[in-house]
Amino acid sequence: MHEMSIVASVLNIAEKEARSADAQVIRTIEIEVGQLAGVEIPALEFGFEVARRGTLAGEAELIIHDIPGLGHCRECNKNVAIDSYIPICPTCGELVPEVLQGKELRVRSIIVD
């Protein structure tokens, strides 16, 4: 379950930023997770519940923004929704070689006190 290592990284980032702001507690952590990032959201949420104990984020809320997959079909010259690692254009059936979004995995914001 690589989601635990992702949670550990998110908590490390949040705690580092909180300490640099002289904060005592982390209230909210917002992250973006692309649908093509290979992350299981329920496992990420479970990992966060376990890993946050005893940290500045002990009572923090985790907000996850699910970023849909989007690619560019060169055959149609259109941006199309994609939801798999081998994306096929729904219009022309060709392989979509260019992924524009959906692989994101980043911290968007942290709210501290």
Annotated binding site for Ni(2+): 2
- How many Å apart are CA 88 and CA 49, to the nearest integer? 36
Pairing between β-strand 61-67 and β-strand 26-34 as defined by DSSP bridges: parallel
- How many Å apart are CA 79 and CA 53, to the nearest integer? 42
Annotated binding site: 2, 73, 76, 89, 92
Rg (alpha carbons) of the chain, rounded to whole number: 17
- How many Å apart are CA 37 and CA 3, to the nearest integer? 11
Annotated binding site for Zn(2+): 73, 76, 89, 92
